[in-house]
Amino acid sequence: MALREMRETTMRRRWFSLAVAAGAGTALVLAGCAAESSDTDAAPGFEDCVENPNECNTADRADGGTMVWALDQAPDGYFPWSSEGGSVYTLQAIHGILPYFGQFMPDGEYDYNMDVLAAEPELLSEDPFVVEFQLDEAAEWNDGTPISADDVRITWMMSTSEGEGHCEGCRPRATGNFDVIEDVSGSEDGKTVTITYKDGIAVPEWFSFGSAHNIIGGIAPAHVAEQQGWDIDTPSDLGEYFEYLNDNPAEFSGGPYLLESFDIDTQVVKVPNPNWYGEVQPTLDRLVMRFLTDEDTWLPALQNDELHGGSPAGFAEDVVRQVRDMEGVRVHIQPGPSWEHLDLNLDNQWLGEHQELREAIFVAVDAEDIADRNFAAIFPDYQLRTNHVHSEDSEFHVDHLEGTGQGTGDVEMAREILEAAGFEGMDEGPGGLTYDGETVGPFRLRSTSAPARATAQQLIQGYLAEIGIEANIEPTDDLGGTLVAQDYDLMQYGWSGSPLFTGIGSQYWETGSSSNYGNYSNDEVDALIEQEQQAPTLEESAALHDQMMELVVDDAYVLPLYDSPVYVFVSEDYANVRDNTNTSLRAMYEHHYWGEAAQ
């Protein structure tokens, strides 16, 4: 494929997928196209978001003021590189601190960040793949250090797996898109960055390197490591720098905001970066992001002018109704970037050794019933999920659950699967299921306590009881830590992110991947993952992911449930707030445009 044709193909995309664990917990990063959402419950300011998603709710700003924004869960780390820190909440908490090269806009188009870049990137070669980024001369960190190729290089090295030899002790949650790089080098005082990929590697999404959708949401500073006494060319030093970033609030910035304070239990406070070189300057004196896990506190806070908006990952029907009915508050609901799924821990002896048991569990679960109970009354246009990579709106969508019974709630089919495999007691209620005279389970069923998930957990507990399985619900307030520790038998959570999807199979299912929390391993899937890294087009990448999904479904490892609806709410006293369901950042994707509405 010619360079120009490849670029035009990649830039025409209008689909969704993912890359970071999210929802009310960990974030990797994705699902459904904002441009095709309905205008359900669109309020003044949001009424044209379907037709004009990039500019709806636009107004002039006044200088000054403090805005308080809600996150519906506290982050688990100060920096989103690690599995425990890699949630949408950490990404949102530090957004505006790291420079990035581009992002997908609400309408699905990719937009280069010309505050950081001096020109659009170029694909110099296809064999091997070589990409060049030109950094703007004015782009610098808040202490005056130029943003340079060293920053891009350290971001690459600290995002690779330890076997690559660049970093000893780094624990990035997703390495697939970085292990395929051979070298990152700089020229012209570090303002020209050349990225060379390994032989045989194809990168159809090359343009998105360094985007707001990557593992940390941008580019990390190399000079801060050096200021702390670490040599960026010494692998063990990079490992120490990794932990330093994970354990300490950032005191640096290459974006429009600085962190004035970051209390990991309560809130993060952002103030304008006085050395911000970008075209659009923040007008707010302070942006306070409060970690409000109890949605019931939002209503009185809004009424008392102690809270001004939020774009929650969770969806609580009663809260949406009440916020929507409040005078002076704008609300918009649409399909979101996250999809819910039920995962199994294959290190549990019962679940790991009995594929038929896993399959029966997935057949007994009724995804439509869960979605209907949670969303039908207020958002009947919800979408069930039948693909682990592409939503139903994607041109690459294939229904991988059709004909399997998984997610249908067919109790009789589930019992037949168990009976054929030698299980007994399927119809004797919770705790009745046995195998060779031994009771199966009980299993710990875990998730966060977000309202939609709490409802889902109760329903799943009931479905499993109908096939003789006792499932004990154990909520967690630390989804990332719980997943990393494999402290569950069955876990419901969400993946969230952007329209990018190449390399997702490696992140989800590759043996040993730090995001493969349930310890799934299939040699055929691993081989397809290696093959996908060499796929020259998005069509070939999608086809290989389809082959992976067929195997994952057969192995009954992950059960897709539904695309999670989302909503944004904001006081009418604030301007330029709108949702972006093409990113884990949601409404915060350009939050330096926010401000008090001019009178």
pLDDT by residue (tens digit) across 259-317?
999 999 999 999 999 999 999 999 999 999 999 988 889 999 999 999 999 999 888 88
Q: Are strands 129-134 and 122-126 parallel, antiparallel or unpaired?
A: antiparallel
- Give me 433's structure tokens: 């299921």
pTM, to two decimals:
0.81
The torsion region of residue 435 among left (phi > 0), alpha (psi -120 to 50) and beta comes to beta
Name the pLDDT band for 394 (thresholds 50, 70, 90): confident
When pLDDT is averaged across residues 506-525 and rounded to a whole number, the result is 94
| Res 334: pLDDT | 87
pLDDT value at 3 more than 90: no
| Res 536: pLDDT | 87
When pLDDT is averaged across residues 50-79 and rounded to a whole number, the result is 94
pLDDT value at 14 more than 70: no
| DSSP 3-state of 170 | coil
The H or E element that residue 95 is part of is: none
| DSSP 3-state of 480 | helix
* pLDDT top residue among 513 and 254: 254
Name the pLDDT band for 9 (thresholds 50, 70, 90): very low
| Res 497: pLDDT | 64
pLDDT value at 463 more than 90: yes
| Res 500: pLDDT | 85
Long-range contacts of 266-271 (CB under 8 A, 24+ apart): 266/74, 266/290, 266/291, 267/291, 268/93, 268/94, 270/96
